[in-house]
Structure 1
Amino acid sequence: MKKLLFLSIISISLNSCFSAKGLPIKTINETDETSIPTTNASNLDHSAWNSLLKKYVAKNGDVDYKGFKNESNALNEYIHYLEQQAPKEDWSINTQLAYFINVYNANTIKLIIDNYPVKSIKDIDNPWLKNRFEIGGKAFSPAGLENGILRKMNEPRIHFAINCASASCPKLLNEAYTEKNVMELMERATKDFINNSKKNEITENLAKISEIFKWYKGDFNDDGTLQEYINIYSTVNINPNTEIQYLDYDWRLNDKN
């Protein structure tokens, strides 16, 4: 069985890699069927988060932050539960992905409602770099989780699963990620985002796309070009030499109200 990748915590800039010592992060490319063991981690309970999402997230991804604020105790209890579930070596890729995506999204909602009302996540002091939650007793920032753990798993679809509480973000799904559904939901989120004309304007010869593809370009063209990655999911097939332009990012809060 191939060894798991262990990382160490470091505090550097947003675009650098963050990580966590002692967390058994397994990358997609480092595994095969024999290296993903049967695990009891499927007992992880994301039902409380699923219930909150069903109540307060619309199908289009708009979020009822007032509703979340009214049930802040339930949200905080779920986040506390996640903090006690430090990843273990027998966790499958699916279990880890679902866990870390839910950690990121739940704590983003908490960040907003702790500062609500707010017009943009960028109006909050240092929203991504400040340590705001724990995993197994280790302090993390949102950037630390995204860059040091999720992006290390070599799964570019995570960029469409995690939500930054903004209008230009991929929509927050009103369903919790779990070991069983994480691959299906990431696939759905990626297709929905790329084919959303409010987020990307794609024609055969010109693709005006989200700045997400600019910020994390290396995550999408590791095995090919950005055009090739887009074609995997886009209903409009673009040419290999299609011009790429990036749309300005709208950081206004994705508030339902």
Structure 2
Amino acid sequence: MSAAHAQEETLTQTSVEIAIITTVGCQFCKRAKDTLKQAGLGYREIEASNQPELLNKIKETTGRRTVPQVFVGGTCIGGSDDLSRMVTNNQLSKLLHEAQGKPALPTDLQDAIDTASKPNQASTDAAFIPPGISRHEYNSSQELAASMESSHHDIRWANPDLRTFTAAEALRWLMQHKGIQQQEAKQTLALLQQTHQISVVDKDLDLSNEVSDADLSTTHLQLVSSAPVPQFGQPLNRHYTWFGSARSPSEVSESLRQIILLLYDKHLASDGKALNYKALKQDPVFKTYVNATAELQKVDVVSLNREERMAFFINIYNAVVVHALAVFGPASNLKQRLSFFNAIKYNIGGQDYSANDMEHGVLRDNRPTPASPWVLLGVPHWSSGYFKPSDLRAAHVVSPMDPRIHFALVCGAKSCPPIKVYTPTSLQEGLDSATMAFCEGEVVVHKEERVAEVSKLFKWYAQDFGPQEHLFPWLVQYLSGSSKADLQDLLDTVGAKRIHVKYRHYDWALNSQE
């Protein structure tokens, strides 16, 4: 749904319009919509994902960088928490009464929405249609692969456990069941490979080229839909080998990001607090997503600039975490958590990248993990780095490191930041928004006691945020309201070093709804 195509909720309507700006996969947006539904209030939703120009206009209009933003009578009344409070104390009812006859959105913002270009819609199959393949050919190959899978009793398996068969057997099946000659069967088999319906096992072979009878008899194929799920510790996107070249990293990342966001949004609880991983795993779109990840095997990340590299690895990190949690479930204790993020991985451009590799090696400028002996001893600068100098992946390190990445990376825990949208063109706005949203919920200032309660992320990654005299002046720019005013007052009166820090409990329980 584009911003220019807003959604009308068919609920008990008030005589005054309520508008809400949202993005796909936003837990706070879900929560705000649920609050309005529970109150029996209708609203108009403007979904602004993938529209950086519109989001910039919203920020310019309201001064707020986060979503949701709720509007009544031409004024932004706040976000999810503000809305909940106003419903509870009946302040919203008073505003609605006062706003009789007024449009929900200010004129300039409504004009921007009306003229907003329709963004690219999230597609669940775009990653599978290579150049030169028509939609009809793609659909036909999908139907044919499904027919082969349903006719498995008629196929002579080379390895029944792995569900592999020879290319010669595939040709026999095609000629027998489709009533076609050998040459057409060979062309059909090549199309199945090009559309990623079948994969050649343990061999780099293009079936569109002339293949000898001997090779046909020794070449093993596998239906992608029957490919076995990788074991824990294996790359999750190596269940089959991607055929041909890949699109640009940004295109691949965008396709995967859109699919995972659709799944996330679909299976996120109405209050925005939990994700139904079981339902997500069983969703047919999840299988589409899993198969699409194979394209990462062939992407070339060498040419990415810093912003492109950051957006790419943030999105892929978040994707592999959600993927792994759906397939394997969460780690249940500290020991398992330490190994979990080392074990879950994707193959990217021929190199395996675990979640830890992406976070500490790439995004954190090749810094040691919080569990590193050097960090535990308080001398992280003694570490030679996460990647060894000889490691080819060290060429893709993001430098300098941006500490805001900690509020963009999703770990699946209840205290972890929610998944968000990141693109190279709107990366700075996205990281600002993620940081502000996280700090609003995880930073509490007690002015009289000179105490700041903050997330343990600031303790674990102290080497990234720096000492208190650096942390608090940096932090104040991402706070709002009384928290911002109180922290700034403490900085002005007693100084950062005299503010007492209290670390909040970090809830590692899975943000799951079963």
Contact 2:274–2:512 (CA under 8 A) maintained in structure 1: yes
Matches within 5 A, 1:1-257: 43-44=251-252, 46-57=254-265, 58=268, 60=272, 62-70=274-282, 71-89=285-303, 91-116=304-329, 118=330, 120=332, 126-130=339-343, 132-152=345-365, 153=398, 154-173=401-420, 175=421, 177-196=422-441, 199-204=442-447, 205-221=450-466, 225-235=470-480, 236-237=483-484, 238=487, 239=490, 240=496, 241-257=498-514
SS state at 2:352 partner: strand
> Taking structure 1 as the reference length, what is the TM-score of the superposition?
0.72
Contact 1:63–1:255 (CA under 8 A) maintained in structure 2: yes
Give the distance between the partners of 2:437 and 2:262, measured in 1 at CA: 18
> Which has the larger displacement, 229-238 or 104-113?
229-238
Judged with a 3 Å threshold, the aligned counterparts in structure 2 of structure 1 residues 222 and 209 are, in CA distance, closer, same or farther, namely closer
Give the distance between the partners of 2:287 and 2:358, measured in 1 at CA: 23
2:99 aligns with none
Instruction: Supply the AA of the counterpart residue of 2:276.
Output: D
Quote how far apart the aligned CAs of 1:146 are: 0.6
Deviations 1:9-34 (A, max 9, x none): xxxxxxxxxxxxxxxxxxxxxxxxxx
Instruction: Supply the AA of the counterpart residue of 2:507.
Output: D
Judged with a 3 Å threshold, the aligned counterparts in structure 2 of structure 1 residues 83 and 254 are, in CA distance, closer, same or farther, namely farther
Quote how far apart the aligned CAs of 1:114 are: 1.2
Contact 1:84–1:136 (CA under 8 A) maintained in structure 2: yes
Extract unaligned runs of 5+ from structure 2: 1-247, 366-397, 491-495
Larger Rg: 2
Judged with a 3 Å threshold, the aligned counterparts in structure 2 of structure 1 residues 60 and 242 are, in CA distance, closer, same or farther, namely farther
Give the distance between the partners of 2:469 and 2:300, measured in 1 at CA: 35
Give the distance between the partners of 2:443 and 2:407, measured in 1 at CA: 13
SS state at 1:133 partner: strand
Contact 1:121–1:165 (CA under 8 A) maintained in structure 2: no
Give the distance between the partners of 1:195 and 1:229, measured in 2 at CA: 14
Deviations 1:144-171 (A, max 9, x none): 1111100113111111111110001112
Judged with a 3 Å threshold, the aligned counterparts in structure 2 of structure 1 residues 45 and 172 are, in CA distance, closer, same or farther, namely closer
SS state at 1:129 partner: helix
Larger relative helix fraction: 2
Overall identity of the aligned pairs, in % = 26
Contact 2:252–2:295 (CA under 8 A) maintained in structure 1: no
Extract unaligned runs of 5+ from structure 1: 1-39
Contact 2:253–2:315 (CA under 8 A) maintained in structure 1: no
Give the distance between the partners of 2:286 and 2:429, measured in 1 at CA: 29
Quote how far apart the aligned CAs of 1:249 are: 1.3
Give the distance between the partners of 1:247 and 1:94, measured in 2 at CA: 31
SS state at 1:250 partner: coil
Larger relative contact order, structure 1 or 2 (CA cutoff 8 Å, min sep 6)? 1
